[in-house]
Amino acid sequence: MSVAKNDIWVYCEDYVTEPAVIAAAREVAIELGADPVSAATGAFLHSVAAMRNAKAVVEIGTGAGVSGLWTLSGMNPKGVLTTIDPEVEFQQSAAMAFRAAQVPSSRTRFINGRALDVLQRLADSSYDMVTIDALPEETGQYVSHALRLLRPGGALVIPNALWFGNVANPARRDPHTVALREVTKTLLESEDFLTCLIPTGDGALLAVRPAPAI
């Protein structure tokens, strides 16, 4: 007997038990309207960071710290998360969440500002992972920066790549959906990344910058 795809999706989402400190940050995020990643997507961020033994990560979209906490939990213990957001209140809430999780201040770098302005100042080939959780219409530009910022073998993650399932529906033509549909198509066809879609949350996209052949 076959299992419906929606049932598989729900099972994946319910499979993860979220730590209390992250669950608390999620409540704050919802109150602020920060739209946090799901627990399953957070666990995916943790896994990618752990597999890369990530020492330097850029996060576009701080929110209230939910994705940052998941990412930090998988990073190298001495790794630094650079998190960018234009909303001061979001970053203040994230800082409180990181303190509650006993994350040393030396492991986080908050940059308040517009990501398209900030990313230009970050060093080339210096990061193990880039997470883009921001406006769909700007995501394509962020991807271009990610290619420049990532070291060979580095990973790009877009947590909301399917935009509430709308990207998979060709009838949906709103600007957010069209923008992310184009991003996923471009990455899947790109020779610069090895790309796959992960069925968690709103559909996470993972793209790895291949290491040069020896």
Give the residue numbers spanning the domain of 94.
5-208
pTM of the model: 0.93
Query: In which residue ranges of the chain is pLDDT below 50?
Result: 1-2
pLDDT at 214: 61
pLDDT in tens, 64-92: 999 999 999 999 999 999 999 999 999 99
Residue 68 maps to a domain: yes
Residue 178 maps to a domain: yes
CB of 193 closer than 8 Å to CB of 180? no
CB of 57 closer than 8 Å to CB of 81? yes
Q: How far apart are CA 214 and CA 211, in angstroms?
A: 9
Residue 214 maps to a domain: no
Residue 121 maps to a domain: yes
Residue 12 maps to a domain: yes
Residue 213 maps to a domain: no
Residue 179: count other Cβ atoms within 10 Å of its Cβ.
18
pLDDT at 168: 86
pLDDT in tens, 14-24: 778 899 999 99
CB of 42 closer than 8 Å to CB of 59? no
3-state secondary structure of 147: helix
Phi-psi sector, 200: left (phi>0), alpha (psi -120 to 50), beta? beta
The DSSP bridge partners found for residue 127 are: 150
Domain of 107: which CATH number?
Answer: 3.40.50.150
The count of domains in the chain is 1
Residue 122 maps to a domain: yes
Residue 179 tokens read as: 């923008």
